[in-house]
Amino acid sequence: MLCSTKCKKMLPYEITPRTVQVLASALQQLPKEGMSDSECLKNLASLIRIHGDLVKDSDDVQQSEIQTVESLHVSQPFIVFILGGPGSGKGTVCTRLVSEAGFSHLSVGDLLRREVASGSTVGNEVESIMKSGGLVSDELAISIVRGSIESTASRNPGCTLKILLDGFPRTLEQAIMFESNIAQVAKIVWLTCSNQILVDRILKRGLTSGRQDDNLESVTARLKAFNENTERIREHYATLNDGRLHLIDASLESDEVFSQVYQLLR
Ligand code: AP5
């Protein structure tokens, strides 16, 4: 027979305050018998995901557990991938699109930095990855994005959401997992810029940003990760040739870059 204590011990995830309430209700809903330990664990994992908590990368959480936006009773949002190298201006463009075009802005980088600042287990685990300029696991990135879309939808009931995913996907796998399991992407905005300009911007920002990855060593690694992983994403959407991929010259003045993206998305 399963009991709450046993289920909690089996959980590979950190229990955050937000999670406690969800778990309490989830444990009550679980059948007392006829359910294997692994089924119990997977059900709990799904319930935690639904409530948008960060989870550790775990073999126990299968990709098939990621539910579609539709199945979670959220009307299909208008989703835009905003992609580009470090310092290409993703965050800058997104900030203006929020205030001037009514978009919601979801940045995996910002959400990860928040997690690091909270001192949680997940935060401690990803801190060194981010500092070194590497990528967190696809599963964690997908989980964060999915949780954020859910949270945004629940804060705006009945609205057709317009969502900017800033810096997601970073791998072709993330793109495919997202489109297969969560939602279709309406447009992909690709901010192109030379490596030299990107490095100059990041080093300049590093003088005041306080970001642990705004230094020459980290940005070099971030650029390498970007160049190695994202070309496959660009090739994928270019091959589909369905009009969703748009390249924008991000070396132009900030206002000009914004204006071009705005025209594209309005
Ligand atoms: P993230 O926070 O997304 O960092 P990034 O991609 O390196 O991008 P930045 O935030 O540094 O730059 P930006 O393009 O937003 O430019 P901004 O507008 O700030 O990710 C951080 C880390 O998290 C990753 O390295 C990875 O470890 C992890 N991560 C995130 N997503 C992940 C995922 N999906 N999967 C796995 N891991 C993930 O502008 C930069 C500067 O340039 C500013 O000072 C700005 O004022 C200036 N600027 C902007 N535009 C212009 C312009 N047109 N002209 C002149 N200056 C400009």
Each residue's pLDDT tens digit, 62-110: 444 444 554 444 568 999 999 999 999 999 999 999 999 999 999 999 9
Tell me the three state secondary structure of residue 261.
helix
Cβ neighbours of residue 68 closer than 8 Å, sequence gap 6 or more: 181, 182, 183
Site residues for ligand 1, CB cut-off 6 Å: 84, 86-92, 107-109, 112, 129-130, 133-136, 141, 167-170, 174, 201, 205, 213, 222, 250, 253-254, 257
Is there a contact between 41 and 7 (Cβ–Cβ < 8 Å)?
Answer: yes
Q: Is the pLDDT of residue 50 over 50?
A: no
Ligand 1 atom, smallest distance to 205 CA: 44
Question: Of all protein residues, whose CA lies closest to atom 29 belonging to ligand 1?
Answer: 109
pLDDT of residue 60: 42
Ligand 1 atom, smallest distance to 166 CA: 3
110-130 pLDDT, tens digit each = 999 999 999 999 999 999 999
Amino acid letter for position 1: M
The pLDDT > 70 percentage for the chain reads 72
Q: How far apart are CA 83 and CA 81, in angstroms?
A: 6
179-231 pLDDT, tens digit each = 999 999 999 999 999 999 999 999 999 999 999 999 999 999 999 999 999 99
Strands 245-249 and 162-166 turn out to be unpaired
Q: How far apart are CA 156 and CA 244, in angstroms?
A: 26
Q: Is the pLDDT of residue 53 over 90?
A: no
Q: Would you give the end-to-end CA distance of the chain in angstroms?
A: 56
Rounded to the nearest whole angstrom, what is the distance from the C-alpha of residue 173 to the centroid of ligand 1?
20
Using alpha carbons, select from 238, 223, 143 the residue that is nearest to residue 190.
Answer: 238
Q: Predicted confidence band at 37 (pLDDT cuts at 50, 70, 90)?
A: low
- Specify the range with the lowest mean pLDDT, choosing from 20-24, 109-113, 148-152, 160-164: 20-24
Q: How far apart are CA 241 and CA 109, in angstroms?
A: 29
Mean pLDDT, the chain, whole residue set: 81
Q: Is the pLDDT of residue 260 over 60?
A: yes
Q: Predicted confidence band at 14 (pLDDT cuts at 50, 70, 90)?
A: very low
pLDDT of residue 35: 53
pLDDT of residue 129: 96
Rounded to the nearest whole angstrom, what is the distance from the C-alpha of residue 201 to the centroid of ligand 1?
10
Question: Of all protein residues, whose CA lies closest to atom 23 belonging to ligand 1?
Answer: 109
Question: Alpha helix (H) ranges present in the chain?
Answer: 4-10, 17-29, 37-50, 90-101, 108-118, 121-132, 138-155, 172-181, 195-206, 216-240, 254-265
Q: Is the pLDDT of residue 59 over 90?
A: no
Q: How far apart are CA 194 and CA 198, in angstroms?
A: 6
**Cut 0.85: pTM above it:** no
Q: 216: how many CB neighbours lie within 10 A of its CB?
A: 11
